[in-house]
Amino acid sequence: MSEFREKWPEMRMKHLELVQNAITRMGTNSAGLKGYCMGIVAALIALAGAIEKPRILFLGLPIIVAFAVLDASYLVLERGFRDQYNELRLKPLESEPDFHIEPKESATLADALLSWSVLGFYGAGILIVVAVGVFI
């Protein structure tokens, strides 16, 4: 690969771009999960109100928890890819690229579940479902 030495800076930039694309995909998937989850919860709230059976709302709790775990999984991957990106960007631009794309194992699922973007969002969803279920 040394015959491509003059192209290494360009190749390193492409490597960084590939890792950034993985980070972007994780964020997009996470946002999509939040949208789907709230859509399902809103449908359950509407159904519970229409058939006047608020207990049906409590079916939404395991759904919210499942989406929270999936979202936390994406967050773990995103953090791992961010750590890889930061490690790559600190290397000299002239160093040989290896195009290895794999998230670092820096975050745990428990850490991600307790993050503000997961616990804050899905915790609020759980509180809303419980409050609506109790008060309608």
Chain centroid to CA 23: how far?
9
pLDDT of residue 84: 93
Gap between the Cα atoms of 28 and 127, Å rounded: 25
pLDDT of residue 12: 86
Which residue in this structure is represented by tokens 């002239």? 94
- The domain ranges of the chain are 2-135
Structure tokens at 13: 């930039």
Structure tokens at 39: 């859509």
pLDDT of residue 91: 86
Q: Report the predicted TM-score, pTM, of the whole model to 2 decimal places.
A: 0.86
Q: What is the pLDDT along the chain (136 residues), one digit of tens a residue?
A: 557 777 788 888 898 999 999 999 999 999 999 999 999 999 999 999 899 888 899 999 999 999 999 999 999 999 999 999 999 888 887 778 888 888 888 889 999 999 999 999 999 999 999 999 888 7
CB contact at 8 A, 93 and 9? yes
pLDDT of residue 2: 59
